[in-house]
A and B are shown apart, each in its own frame.
Chain A
Amino acid sequence: MALTDDTLQERLEEQFEELDLKISEELNELTVEVEASDYLEFCLALREKPQFQMEQLIDLCGVDYSAYEQAAGKHWTGKRYAVVLHLISYRLNERLRIRVFVEEDSFPVIPTVVDIWKSANWYEREAFDLYGIAFDGHPDLRRILTDYGFIGHPLRKDFPMTGHVEMRYDEMKGRVVYEPVTIDERVNTERVIRKDNRYVH
Chain B
Amino acid sequence: MSTNPAEMSAAEIRNFTLNFGPQHPAAHGVLRLILEMDGETIERADPHIGLLHRGTEKLAEQRMYNQSIPYMDRLDYVSMMCNEHAYVMTIEKLLGVEVPERAQYIRVMFDEITRILNHLMWLGTHALDVGAMTVFLYCFREREDLMDLYEAVSGARMHAAYYRPGGVYRDLPDEMPKYKSNQWRSEKDLKRQNEGRDGSVLDFIENFTGRFPKLVDEYETLLTNNRIWKQRTVDIGVIDADLAKQLGFTGPMLRGSGVAWDLRRKQPYEVYDKLDFEIPIGVNGDCYDRYLVRIEEMRQSNHIIQQCVTWLRQNPGAVMADDHKVTPPPRSEMKEGMESLIHHFKHFTEGYSVPKGEAYAAVEHPKGEFGTYILSDGANKPYRLKIRAPGFAHLAAMEEMVKGHMLADVVAVIGTMDVVFGEIDR
| Residues A155 and B58 in contact in the complex (CB < 8 Å), given A84-B373, A199-B96 | yes
Task: Tell me the complex Cα distance, A90–B373, Å.
Answer: 20
Closest to A89 in B: B245
Of the four ranges (under 10, 10 to 19, 20 to 34, 35 or more), the interface on chain B belongs to 35 or more
Distance A190 CA – B62 CA, assembled complex (angstroms): 9
Question: For residue A145, which residues in chain B have a CB less than 8 angstroms away from its CB?
Answer: 49-50, 53, 425-426
B161 sits at the interface (CB 8 A):
no
Question: Chain A residue with minimal CB distance to B242?
Answer: A55
Question: Does B333 sit at the interface, judged by CB under 8 A?
Answer: no
Q: Which residues of chain B from 239 to 268 have any CB-CB distance to chain A below 8 Å in the complex?
A: 245-248, 250, 259, 261, 266-267
Contact flags A55-72 to B (C-beta < 8 A → 1, else 0)? 111110101100111011
Within 8 A of A (CB), among B384-413: 384, 386, 388, 392-393, 395-397, 400
Question: CB distance A200 to B50 under 8 Å?
Answer: no
Q: Which of the segments A5-13, A25-33, A170-178 contacts the partner chain? A: A25-33
Chain A neighbourhood of B247, CB < 8 A: 118-119
Q: Which residue on B lies nearest to A187, using beta carbons?
A: B62
A189 in the interface, Cβ–Cβ < 8 Å?
yes
Interface of A is mostly: loop
> Is the CB–CB distance between B248 and A189 below 8 Å?
no
Chain A: CB-nearest residue to B388? A59
A151 CB–B CB distance under 8 Å: no
Per the 8 Å Cβ criterion, residues 367-383 of B in contact with A are 369, 371, 373, 375, 377-381, 383
CB distance from A11 to the nearest CB of B (A): 19
Could you say which residues of chain B place their CB within 8 Å of the CB of A69? 356, 377-378
> What's the nearest-Cβ distance from chain B to residue A176, in Å?
14
Query: 29 A-B Cβ contacts within 8 A?
Result: A27-B93, A29-B359, A56-B245, A58-B250, A59-B360, A64-B384, A68-B383, A69-B356, A69-B377, A84-B373, A86-B360, A90-B245, A117-B246, A118-B247, A119-B393, A121-B396, A122-B393, A122-B396, A123-B392, A126-B392, A144-B50, A145-B53, A145-B425, A154-B55, A154-B58, A155-B57, A155-B58, A193-B379, A196-B325
| 18 new A-B contacts at CB < 8 Å, known A29-B359, A122-B393 | A26-B359, A27-B357, A29-B358, A55-B245, A55-B246, A68-B383, A71-B379, A90-B245, A97-B358, A118-B246, A126-B392, A145-B426, A154-B58, A155-B57, A189-B64, A192-B353, A192-B380, A201-B96
List the interface of chain A (C-beta within 8 A of B): 26-27, 29, 31, 55-59, 61, 63-64, 67-69, 71-72, 84, 86, 90, 93, 95, 97, 117-119, 121-123, 126, 130, 143-147, 154-155, 161, 187-196, 198-201
